[in-house]
Amino acid sequence: MVGVLSLHAPLGFLEEGEDLVACFRDASVAREACAALTAGGHRFELVTDIPEGDPMEAFRAASRPFPVGRRLWIDPGDPSDSSPPAGRIAIRVPASRAFGTGGHESTRLALLALEDSADPGGTVLDAGTGSGILALAAAALGASRAVGFDIDAEALFVARENLRRHPFGRRVALLAGPVTCIRKRFATVVANLLPDELLPIRADLAARVAPRGRLVVSGIPAERENEMARRLRGRRLRLVSRRQENGWICLCLERASS
Assess contact for 148 and 126: CB atoms under 8 A.
Answer: yes
Model-wide pTM > 0.85: no
* Res. 183: pLDDT tops 70: yes
What's the longest Cα–Cα distance across the chain?
79
* Domains, the chain, ordered by start: 3-49 (no CATH), 99-255 (3.40.50.150)
Task: Please give the backbone phi and psi of residue 74, each rounded to the nearest 5 degrees, phi first.
Answer: -95, 130
* Res. 129: pLDDT tops 60: yes
* Res. 148: pLDDT tops 70: yes
The three-state secondary structure class of 108 is helix
The per-residue pLDDT for 65 is 86
CA–CA separation, 180 and 201 (whole Å): 9
CA–CA separation, 221 and 223 (whole Å): 6
Average pLDDT over residues 214-238: 95
One-letter amino acid identity for 147?
Answer: V
45-54, 120-129, 239-248, range with the lowest pLDDT: 45-54
Nearest to 25 by CA among 47, 56, 4, 46: 4
Cis omega (within 30 of 0) on the bond before 67? no
Assess contact for 162 and 169: CB atoms under 8 A.
Answer: yes
Average pLDDT over residues 79-91: 83
Which ranges of the chain would DSSP assign to H, the alpha helix?
27-39, 57-62, 105-116, 133-140, 153-163, 195-198, 202-206, 225-232
Place 154 in a pLDDT band, splitting at 50, 70 and 90: confident
The per-residue pLDDT for 12 is 45
Number of neighbours of residue 65 by Cβ within 10 angstroms = 19
Nearest to 27 by CA among 52, 47, 44: 52
Q: Which range in 41-55, 59-73, 200-214 is most confidently predicted, on average pLDDT?
A: 200-214
Place 117 in a pLDDT band, splitting at 50, 70 and 90: confident
* Res. 212: pLDDT tops 80: yes
The three-state secondary structure class of 255 is strand
The per-residue pLDDT for 83 is 85
Q: Please give the mean pLDDT across all residues of the chain.
A: 82
